[in-house]
């Protein structure tokens, strides 16, 4: 069936999760971050994801903001930057204002101009996601922002992917699902979506029972994949 609905993961897909650490390093207030921000950003994202998986399989759900703070605290300690309350707060404040990747606004406008449904489907809490959407200025090209908080479990649980059909009344094979997480795109393939993995870092494909249908370096050609 033709694609009617394009759904995007948020963090790392539409929004640059390294932006908070990079901006904090660039503003000159925290010189100790200058040569460690990339390491910090990597640890922060890795632990943020790991904690969502562990909470999902142990039935210990928490708001994604709590998970984000836990991940940051681990990353700060791992990089020898713990103990600086001002740095921690600055990084957390910046996470609510993450920058969208440069190609995102035009790509979403193209999808909307073609009459497709567009949405975010994310582990993020509603407040976090709304903050990022507003900061990036893309609210007018999204039909909805779907959060796992409505089902109380993180991806890749099928109940999260169910939210798309419940919201838009579409069949699974009408959905193009896009994520920067290989495991997310792979699991969404198993669920029944047409998937695209945005592999900006050039990582290997995850060894899962399912593979993303498409692998891209950025989001520029998403409208073509959607049939626009």
Beta bridge partner(s), residue 145: 120
Q: Which two tokens stand for residue 218?
A: 């950025």
Residue 9 is a catalytic residue: yes
Pick the catalytic residue from 9, 35, 73, 127: 9
- CA distance linking residue 40 with residue 77, whole number of Å: 9
Per-position DSSP letters for 69-95, written without gaps between them: HHHHHHHHHHTT-TT-HHHHHHHHHHH
Q: Which two tokens stand for residue 121?
A: 């489907």
Q: Euclidean distance between the first and final Cα of the chain, in Å? A: 14
Residue labelled with tokens 């890795």: 46
- CA distance linking residue 122 with residue 23, whole number of Å: 23
CB atoms within 10 A of CB 41: 22
Catalytic center residues: 9
């Amino acid at each position: 069936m033709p694609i009617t609905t394009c759904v995007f993961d948020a963090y790392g897909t539409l929004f640059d999760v390294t932006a908070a650490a990079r901006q904090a390093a660039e503003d000159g207030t925290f010189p100790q971050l200058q040569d460690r921000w990339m390491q910090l950003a990597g640890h922060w994202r890795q632990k943020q994801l790991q904690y969502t998986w562990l909470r999902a399989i142990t039935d210990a759900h928490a708001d994604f903001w709590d998970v984000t703070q836990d991940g940051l605290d681990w990353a700060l300690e791992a990089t020898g930057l713990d103990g600086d309350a001002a740095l921690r707060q600055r990084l957390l404040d910046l996470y609510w204002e993450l920058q969208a990747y440069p190609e995102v606004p035009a790509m979403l406008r193209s999808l909307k101009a073609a009459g497709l449904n567009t949405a975010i489907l994310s582990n993020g809490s509603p407040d976090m996601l709304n903050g990022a959407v507003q900061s990036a200025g893309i609210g007018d090209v999204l039909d909805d922002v779907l959060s796992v908080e409505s089902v109380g479990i993180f991806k890749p649980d099928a109940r999260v992917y169910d939210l798309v059909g419940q919201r838009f009344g579409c069949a699974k094979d009408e959905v193009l699902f896009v994520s920067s997480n290989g495991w997310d795109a792979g699991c969404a393939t198993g669920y029944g979506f047409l998937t695209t993995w945005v592999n900006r870092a050039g990582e290997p494909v995850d060894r899962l029972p399912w593979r993303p249908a498409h692998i891209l370096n950025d989001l520029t050609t998403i409208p073509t994949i959607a049939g626009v």
